[in-house]
Chains A and B, each alone.
Chain A
């Protein structure tokens, strides 16, 4: 089937300037960082981004000026950086087109996209400034083909007379990138732990790039289909990228790298330190393997999840 790609080939083939791009994962969990770093290295830009619950993934792309417009619902490396700092700076400086939806609406929009629905009717956001204020004006929206002309439209609910309903646009996603624990060469994916919105975007996007911790055979992955999440038909590229979610978590395998998130929290405070951080961890390394070597075996082994917990616990401290 030819779906196995190197990270570099997958990103150059499926990620283009101006793409409507979505990542899987949740703030500091199973974010496809290896792929984000490769996009940064290759230079694609002018993305229309959907945040999902975003973190450093989108913060880095925003900080590097790669994002043309961003549909936001939440962006934080929670517990490390409570509002992502490059996002905050870009919005405060008026350098980023940003639209706000509630997280419920944004996640339902991605789900609606996976269902192929023409638009999404909700009772959410009413009574709040999410409906009274627009982040991206009608005029700006008309200049960008990939943005819908309206943030939403409010109409009478045809089935509940006297009630209003908020009709939201459904995103037309060019490329989704997700990181999973296991995949097989034909693209079949196995996500362990919460799938978040990853399955939705894999189905909805025109192209889906999967980075994974391990590749097993097509026969092996079919031995227990109850554990599988995405059929290979929805996947364009399978990339072997062990620790590809680092510094975020990957359930059952490794925890977040607290030190790296703390360092990013500090670095993202200023333009200079942010640049040095990326020079050191992204632009200064050739590829994902060099990144892993730079981190080192000891550092990575300390992140290893302990069975029964799903995250890292220092068991040598138990029973002393």
Chain B
């Protein structure tokens, strides 16, 4: 009998993602952990959510884990195969019609206290030390949708000032998005890391620690965050149910494409 109590931080992240999704939401996923988390949500926590991807594939239910949002594994099991521009129009119209259904997962290399994210470069943009892919769909998504941001929790990634803003968050506080001409009623809701869950203060829009994993602690989070972080509101999060871990390992990602099972 396999052991499903030896959960990893990645699995904890996937469970945190799954629990953040509600019935009726239209979830913009990518590949990797958000897809694993969303697939878990569909099975356990929010069976009436629908998954879409930025390439334009609507209501996806992949059987095998896709490697990209344009993968035939997404394309094969969806309701409509739209071109990407239709996705963009849909995303904008969801905001124009004030339909609060979209929730999107994005990731990046650096994040600041207001949830602005960098997925473009490390160092000066015109002479980068390290260059990444660029925006992909993340900029448009963070313009028009509420987002949940996936990050590796390291001091060098959680910085007061990031090198490049690819995806705008709350900019610099409660008036930030209005000043920049961005929809003010959309923005980052949560950051899910390998140490815990962070949210944004309703007044200041600054990040605070909302919950930490059994393998972490408020001190651990503060130590690995490169800016001052309020940990006073943090609660200890429960360890995941072994049945949920079984589902991730046996049904959702049996090939261990994104989550490795501990030896």
Q: Which residues of A contact B (CB under 8 A)?
A: 25-29, 51, 53, 72-76, 78-80, 82-84, 87-88, 91-92, 94, 100-105, 107-108, 111, 123-130, 132-133, 135, 163-164, 193-197, 199-200, 249, 251, 255-256, 305, 309-311, 313
Q: Is the CB of A107 within 8 A of B31?
A: no
B131 contacts A by Cβ under 8 Å: yes
Q: Is the CB of A92 within 8 A of B68?
A: no
Min CB gap A137→B, angstroms:
9
> Given the interface contacts A26-B55, A309-B63, A313-B64, does A103 sit within 8 Å of B135 by beta carbon?
yes
Q: Is the CB of A193 within 8 A of B72?
A: yes
Min CB gap A152→B, angstroms:
13
> Given the interface contacts A103-B136, A126-B182, A129-B125, does A194 sit within 8 Å of B131 by beta carbon?
no
Nearest 3 A-B pairs (CB), nearest first? Answer: A79-B67, A26-B70, A78-B68
Majority DSSP secondary structure for residues of B touching A: loop
Majority DSSP secondary structure for residues of A touching B: loop
Contact partner, B85, options A133, A197, A256, Cβ 8 Å: A197
Q: Which residues of B contact A (CB under 8 A)?
A: 31, 54-57, 63-64, 66-73, 75-76, 81-85, 88, 91-92, 120, 125-140, 143, 164-168, 171, 176-177, 180-182, 257
> Given the interface contacts A74-B136, A124-B140, A193-B72, does A83 sit within 8 Å of B85 by beta carbon?
no
> Given the interface contacts A127-B171, A311-B72, does A133 sit within 8 Å of B164 by beta carbon?
yes
**What residue of chain A has the Cβ atom nearest to residue B122's Cβ?**
A92
Contact partner, B133, options A26, A82, A129, A135, Cβ 8 Å: A82
> Given the interface contacts A103-B140, A107-B88, A108-B85, does A72 sit within 8 Å of B134 by beta carbon?
yes
> Given the interface contacts A79-B31, A92-B128, does A194 sit within 8 Å of B171 by beta carbon?
no
Q: Which residues of B are found within 8 Å of A91, using beta-carbon distances?
A: 128, 131
Q: Is the CB of B70 within 8 A of A53?
A: yes
Contact partner, A92, options B67, B129, B165, Cβ 8 Å: B129
**Distance between Cα atoms of A264 and B112 in the complex (Å):** 34
Min CB gap B71→A, angstroms:
7
23 inter-chain pairs at a CB distance below 8 angstroms, sorted by A residue, are A29-B72, A73-B135, A75-B134, A78-B68, A79-B67, A83-B132, A102-B137, A102-B139, A104-B88, A104-B139, A107-B84, A107-B85, A123-B181, A125-B143, A127-B176, A128-B165, A130-B166, A133-B164, A163-B181, A194-B55, A195-B83, A310-B75, A311-B73
Q: Which residues of B are found within 8 Å of A73, using beta-carbon distances?
A: 134-136
**Distance between Cα atoms of A63 and B186 in the complex (Å):** 40
Q: Is the CB of B81 within 8 A of A133?
A: no
**Distance between Cα atoms of A200 and B83 in the complex (Å):** 10
Min CB gap A262→B, angstroms:
12
**Distance between Cα atoms of A88 and B133 in the complex (Å):** 8
**Distance between Cα atoms of A29 and B186 in the complex (Å):** 32
Min CB gap B255→A, angstroms:
12
Q: Is the CB of A29 within 8 A of B126?
A: no
**Distance between Cα atoms of A79 and B30 in the complex (Å):** 11
Known: A104-B139, A310-B72; 6 extra A-B contacts, CB below 8 A, are A27-B70, A53-B136, A88-B131, A126-B143, A127-B168, A135-B125
Q: Which residues of A are found within 8 Å of B55, using beta-carbon distances?
A: 26, 53, 194, 196
**Distance between Cα atoms of A201 and B63 in the complex (Å):** 32
Q: Which residues of A are found within 8 Å of B180, using beta-carbon distances?
A: 126-127
Contact partner, B134, options A92, A100, A193, A196, Cβ 8 Å: A100
Q: Which residues of A are found within 8 Å of B128, using beta-carbon distances?
A: 91-92
Q: Is the CB of B68 within 8 A of A26?
A: yes
Contact partner, A197, options B54, B84, B91, Cβ 8 Å: B84
**Distance between Cα atoms of A196 and B72 in the complex (Å):** 12
**What residue of chain B has the Cβ atom nearest to residue A196's Cβ?**
B83
Q: Which residues of B are found within 8 Å of A124, using beta-carbon distances?
A: 139-140, 143
**Distance between Cα atoms of A101 and B139 in the complex (Å):** 9
Q: Is the CB of A100 within 8 A of B120?
A: yes
- Which of A25, A79, A111, A255 has the largest count of B CB atoms less than 10 A from its CB? A79
**Distance between Cα atoms of A91 and B54 in the complex (Å):** 26
**Distance between Cα atoms of A101 and B92 in the complex (Å):** 17
Q: Is the CB of B84 within 8 A of A196?
A: yes
- Which of A25, A100, A163, A305 has the largest count of B CB atoms less than 10 A from its CB? A100
**Distance between Cα atoms of A194 and B83 in the complex (Å):** 6
**Distance between Cα atoms of A193 and B84 in the complex (Å):** 13
- Which of B54, B63, B88 has the largest count of A CB atoms less than 10 A from its CB? B88
> Given the interface contacts A73-B134, A127-B168, does A94 sit within 8 Å of B127 by beta carbon?
yes
